[in-house]
């Protein structure tokens, strides 16, 4: 297997909050629930709480038994970076220039300039909005939002980020990302996960920890290779495919073990019953014809939410939920009204939407070096897909995906004409302009009903909804990416800069401004030891500071280059 760093820093993370910042920071923490996100990658509903008993997942099963399962959660894209943009902002990726995977990579193949998504000026990352409400926000540790996170986004974002570094009685929002189930976990050679040396501190003492390696024999303890895997009909039932299925479930079991460690820490810290726990995947499964596509196999991912005191434990909620709903829901859960710019709907909390979601929407554009243009809308039963490049085949050669043995097997069998009719569908040289699937009767989306007169009314309904959605979010499918970059940059030929912030000190009050509309402003305060802390605070209003206080200040609008850092000493009046 490709070497994958397993993020086990959670075992050992303890540090002290810098006290100097808290003396000047005027934001007071409210007594609010903690929120913990446990996020895995590239995973469909392949776990027992959702009906797949292939491998045991004791920690997720316990979480589901004590919580609520949500089988109808859908990503806005079949790949991670656009999905994370939606989660972080509450905006559809195709509305903010975030839907091409990735905006800074594959520039040699595409000939494009590296760029970042540029949301409207008011848009802030959800973590920054929670920090403004007094939350200690940590991310461990993947970001990948299609834009650089401003310094105001997190209290900590690193391999060692943990809620344990917060102030006493401060609520936290903590994200832990698990990489074991990622597509690259199917690559060969399989079974050797390199776990890097960890350096960490407890108080003033430094430690080093090296857990070692895990070989194939150790991974085999989770599930036998001769397990009767249920192979999707679009994949051939061969030894190679079964071996990849074995890897897939092995990786899920390993992820479950790591996740259990975090949950145990939460319980050991006495925080379990003060915390709303979310588990979900960043999109659907890792196999060919799953990841990157906007069939349900690429969009649908399981979600479990455990509420304090096991509220509604063991229940199921069937409502449709989109990733754009996460940001407004977090605010709603802590009693804060979501901002008007967010395109999602809160599905929990004080500002829960009065009407349940009728449709979910998704989009596919460039994936690394290959480009397509597809949009989809789904209700509880039917999915409508509009292909804006029908002259292109479904399958596009993608170097990264072709590292998966199952993909190599598919190509070999395609070339030797050994695929059956269903398996061959993905390799057609064209796409119908419109597709309609009954996802209840046809969960793998293999039978196109778009030309069946019996479904004309449903086709018309979803077609109209598609057009209305594209209009609402200002999405122009198949818009040339080079022109998109120019549009995002406001007609400039290079990425715009965030203006350098200015500071004014008067009557022991420091006021900070930035001319760039929508810029977030972060600041640090030099402590009594003459050092600046590592964490940037979020500037919200004038800061009460004594004479002789030194500040570092930085501004950053999402999608722009960050400003220069300025240093201000309050003995010098501006």
| pTM exceeds 0.85 for this model | yes
Give the pair of three-digit tokens for residue 555. Answer: 């501004």
Residue 259 CB coordination number (10 Å):
22
Range of the domain at 551: 502-569
- Distance separating alpha carbons of residues 526 and 505, to the nearest angstrom: 16
- Distance separating alpha carbons of residues 535 and 554, to the nearest angstrom: 12
Give the pair of three-digit tokens for residue 70. Answer: 């949500």
Q: Mapping DSSP to helix (H, G, I), strand (E, B) and coil, where does residue 174 land? A: strand
Q: Which residues, at least 6 apart from 205, have a Cβ–Cβ distance to it below 8 Å?
A: none
What pLDDT sits at residue 299? 98
Structural domain contains residue 562: yes
What pLDDT sits at residue 218? 61
Annotated catalytic residue, options 80, 137, 439, 514? 80
- Distance separating alpha carbons of residues 308 and 305, to the nearest angstrom: 10
Structural domain contains residue 510: yes
Q: Mapping DSSP to helix (H, G, I), strand (E, B) and coil, where does residue 219 land? A: helix
Asked if 77 contacts 362 with a C-beta cutoff of 8 angstroms, the reply is yes
Structural domain contains residue 166: no
What pLDDT sits at residue 9? 41
What pLDDT sits at residue 197? 37
Catalytic site includes residue 137: no
What pLDDT sits at residue 571? 78
What pLDDT sits at residue 219? 59
Grouped pLDDT means (10 residues each) for the chain, 574 residues: 39 35 39 95 98 97 98 98 98 98 92 97 98 98 96 96 95 97 95 43 39 53 90 98 97 96 97 98 98 98 98 98 98 98 98 97 97 98 98 94 98 98 96 98 98 98 98 97 97 97 94 98 94 96 94 98 96 57
Q: How many domains does the chain have?
A: 1
Q: Long-range contacts of range 21-27, CB-CB < 8 Å, 24 or more positions apart? A: 21/524, 21/525, 21/527, 21/533, 21/535, 21/537, 22/167, 24/525, 24/543, 24/544, 24/545, 24/549, 25/537, 25/543, 26/540, 26/541, 26/543, 26/544, 27/131, 27/132, 27/134, 27/538, 27/540
Structural domain contains residue 523: yes
Structural domain contains residue 531: yes
Structural domain contains residue 551: yes
What CATH number is given to the structural domain containing 565? 2.60.40
Structural domain contains residue 530: yes
Q: How far is CA 373 from CA 94, 112, 226, 544, in A?
A: 11, 17, 40, 52
Structural domain contains residue 33: no
What pLDDT sits at residue 203? 39
Tens digit of each residue's pLDDT (9 = 90 or more) over 135-160: 999 999 899 999 999 999 999 999 99
What pLDDT sits at residue 141? 87
């Amino acid at each position: 297997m490709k070497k994958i760093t397993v993020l086990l820093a959670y075992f050992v993370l303890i540090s002290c909050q810098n006290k100097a910042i808290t003396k000047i920071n005027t934001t007071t923490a409210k007594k609010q629930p903690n929120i913990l996100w446990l996020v895995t990658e590239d995973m469909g509903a392949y776990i027992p709480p959702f009906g797949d008993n292939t491998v045991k997942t004791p920690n997720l099963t316990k979480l589901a038994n004590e919580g609520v399962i949500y089988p109808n959660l859908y990503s806005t894209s079949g790949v991670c970076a656009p999905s994370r943009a939606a989660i972080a902002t509450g905006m559809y990726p195709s509305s903010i220039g975030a839907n091409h995977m990735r905006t800074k990579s594959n520039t040699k193949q595409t000939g494009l300039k590296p760029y970042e998504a540029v949301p409207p000026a008011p848009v802030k990352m959800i973590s920054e909005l929670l920090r403004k409400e007094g939350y200690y926000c940590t991310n461990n540790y993947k970001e990948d939002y299609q834009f650089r996170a401003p310094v105001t986004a997190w209290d900590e974002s690193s391999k060692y980020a943990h809620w344990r570094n917060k102030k006493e009685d401060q609520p936290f929002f903590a994200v832990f990302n698990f990489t074991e189930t990622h597509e690259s976990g199917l690559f060969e050679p399989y079974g050797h996960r390199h776990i890097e040396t960890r350096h960490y501190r407890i108080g003033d003492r430094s430690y080093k920890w090296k857990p070692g390696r895990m070989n194939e024999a150790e991974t085999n303890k989770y599930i036998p290779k001769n397990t009767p895997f249920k192979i999707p009909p679009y994949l051939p039932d061969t030894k190679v495919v079964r071996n990849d299925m074995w890897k897939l479930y092995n990786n899920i079991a390993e992820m479950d073990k790591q996740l259990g460690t975090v949950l145990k820490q939460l319980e050991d810290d006495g925080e379990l019953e003060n915390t709303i726990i979310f588990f979900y995947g960043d999109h659907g499964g890792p196999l060919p014809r799953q990841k990157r596509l906007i069939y349900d196999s690429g969009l649908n991912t399981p979600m479990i939410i455990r509420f304090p005191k096991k509220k509604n434990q063991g229940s199921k909620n069937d409502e449709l939920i989109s990733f754009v709903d996460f940001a407004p829901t977090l605010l709603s859960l802590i009693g804060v009204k979501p901002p008007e710019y967010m395109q999602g709907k809160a599905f929990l909390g004080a500002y829960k939407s009065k009407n349940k979601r009728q449709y979910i929407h998704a989009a596919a554009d460039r994936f690394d070096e290959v480009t397509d243009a597809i949009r989809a809308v789904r209700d509880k039963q039917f999915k409508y897909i509009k292909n804006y490049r029908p002259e292109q085949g479904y399958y596009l050669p993608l170097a990264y995906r072709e590292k998966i043995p199952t993909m190599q097997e598919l190509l070999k069998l395609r070339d030797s004409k050994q695929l059956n009719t269903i398996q061959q569908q993905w390799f057609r040289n064209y796409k119908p302009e419109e597709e309609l699937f009954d996802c209840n009767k046809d969960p793998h989306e293999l039978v196109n009903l778009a030309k069946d007169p019996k479904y004309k009314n449903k086709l018309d309904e979803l077609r109209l909804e598609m057009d209305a959605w594209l209009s609402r979010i200002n999405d122009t499918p198949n818009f040339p990416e080079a022109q998109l970059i120019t549009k995002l940059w406001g007609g400039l030929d290079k990425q715009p800069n965030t203006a350098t912030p200015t500071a004014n000190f008067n009557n022991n009050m420091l006021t900070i401004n930035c001319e760039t509309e929508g810029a977030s402003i972060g600041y640090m305060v030099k402590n009594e030891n003459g050092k600046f802390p590592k964490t940037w605070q979020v500037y919200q209003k004038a800061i009460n500071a004594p004479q002789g206080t030194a500040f570092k200040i930085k501004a950053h609008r999402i999608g722009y280059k960050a400003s220069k850092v300025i240093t201000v000493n309050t003995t010098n009046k501006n």
